[in-house]
Amino acid sequence: MASREFAVDNAPVYNRTSPLRWILSHARHYAYLPVITVLASILSNSLLSYSSVLVGQAFAWITGPDPALADL
């Protein structure tokens, strides 16, 4: 007797010996997701650090000798 009620043809097989192996066996079937996650993290961190640069430039402009609206 099977441990499931229904049988699916070509169902993926997952390693259930430990939680880490279970997660890694799922990630193997969707290999693009970890790559997208890493790329999105790099992009997010780059944009966040660039916003700090922009704030610093704005502060330097405001505290400069003659801040003019045309400099924006």
**What is the DSSP secondary structure assignment for residue 70, as one 8-state letter?**
G
Q: Which domain holds residue 48?
A: 33-64
**Is 38 domain-assigned?**
yes
Residue 21 lies in a domain: no
Rounded to whole angstroms, the Cα distance separating 60 from 71 reads 12
How many whole angstroms separate alpha carbon 30 and alpha carbon 45? Answer: 24
Instruction: State how many domains the chain has.
Output: 1
pLDDT given at position 2: 61
The verdict on residue 37 lying in a domain is yes
Domain presence at residue 39: yes
Does some domain include residue 59?
A: yes
Examine residue 45 and state whether it is found in any structural domain, yes or no.
yes
**pLDDT averaged per 10 residues in sequence order, the chain, 72 residues:** 79 90 88 92 97 93 82 67
Domain assignment of residue 2, yes or no: no
- pTM score: 0.57
